Structure 1
């Protein structure tokens, strides 16, 4: 019986060591290290860091969409301040100025337009601030080794750590070093690799996440191997004690 348990243990140890040896060469979308120069593979290009989508102004002003909910604050004019939703035609209905086309515009552009409209007839030097309270079209996909993979809404300022938190955090077998973010950038598709552990430690920037991004957390092959070894050790112990009888 003891000889059989030793044979089983040796077999599982060999399999585990082979899995450990292969770590780092599998489970990622490309073989090229993200620390190297940008690399293209088919239609997908690996970059060190993702640029903001082309439809944003400096990455801070995403175009508004029908269904978005905005909080509009007109300084020292509380009767004009309100929370409104962009209708299906892409317009806002506001006091004094009436319908205003908003869809397709950035927040800053809409602020300037409202300041001009109110300043033309009603207010002297108006100051308008707009906050995107709810976004109807800004969603991010979080997949892989997370607690709850799925589609989640994002708002301006959402980061990679925020997106992972929305998905319930990382699972036990997740590889913090292999978190990939995919993004459409004009006609190209870009992907970047981020180390979540380094970001949490404050040693790397926490990148912003935009609507349409796809976040994929890969499995750690080393943790898979360790779990296999644990199971092997448990099995061999049961065999050695006679719990798992072998005819």
Structure 2
């Protein structure tokens, strides 16, 4: 084999290995909106100065230890601002005249939000960007579980003051205008159990069911499988708790809207 052919083959193999490595490498977070926090692991690269490139973890105090520079506080800074601060430190220490610094977040641990209650994967969710919204965090938590309410509660701090906001994700999914608020680090998103109604008597599947948005009596009965062969829809009884806490009985129409806590009783047919 000629030296030229050997050289071409070596270059081709190296390029192939580089592509494979890039495909298999973990995807680094590169959003400039993201604010660095304690526990984040960052990769710092300095153009044409590989000796100054390194991987560092942001400490609990929000700083990193950087060679020849010392401690640099980057907690709370965007990636772009952290790049500028490290570049300024290198220039101030007369290490480089025109440093070009690039930062990628290799692992997120600092800016997180807690998602609790009726979601498919409750727990702590990393905020991948500074402007991550409620709906995006809920999606990252696997979505609302079948028993969960579509109205979620966001609580936390804003400008040093307690913050609480209800967000109706069901209305947003229906195309309505909803204030899908931006989530901040340390927030908690709570998804409560959805309100229920009850069906008993001569129903195929008596029990408790989730109240869907705009659900009618007919839809509520259909969810329970409808009446048994012995039951009838002609003499339904609905028991509802009034504003004063008293139980009110009525004979509902099929297009009446079901309310949380309603009890539908399917009577036995007279014939």
Interval containing the TM-score (normalised by the shorter chain): 0.5 to 0.7
Larger of the two Rg values belongs to structure: 2
Matched residues in 1 for 2:72 and 2:154: separation?
A: 33
Matched residues in 2 for 1:112 and 1:134: separation?
A: 21
Equivalence for 2:71: 100
Residue 134 (structure 1) aligned with residue 125 (structure 2): no
Structure 2: stretches of 5+ with no match in the other structure: 1-32, 197-210, 233-271
Matched residues in 2 for 1:204 and 1:183: separation?
A: 19
Equivalence for 2:212: 223
1:1-247 aligned within 5 A:
60=33, 62=35, 64-65=37-38, 67-87=39-59, 91-97=63-69, 99-102=70-73, 104=75, 106-107=77-78, 109-120=81-92, 121-157=94-130, 158-176=132-150, 178-197=151-170, 207-218=181-192, 219=194, 222-223=211-212, 229-230=221-222, 232-234=224-226, 236-237=227-228, 239-240=230-231
Equivalence for 2:16: none
Matched residues in 1 for 2:212 and 2:48: separation?
A: 58
Instruction: Give the number of the structure with larger relative contact order, counting CA–CA contacts within 8 Å between residues 6 or more apart.
Output: 1
Q: Which structure shows the higher helix fraction?
A: 1
Over 3 Å counting, the alpha-carbon distance change for 1:116 and 1:137 in structure 2 is: closer
Over 3 Å counting, the alpha-carbon distance change for 1:205 and 1:119 in structure 2 is: farther
Residue 89 of structure 2 aligns to a residue in which SS?
helix
TM, length-normalised to structure 2: 0.51
Over 3 Å counting, the alpha-carbon distance change for 1:173 and 1:129 in structure 2 is: same
Matched residues in 2 for 1:105 and 1:144: separation?
A: 29
TM, length-normalised to structure 1: 0.56
RMSD: 3.7
- For the 8 Å contact 1:149–1:167, the answer to whether it is kept is yes
**Aligned positions, number:** 179
- For the 8 Å contact 2:37–2:111, the answer to whether it is kept is no
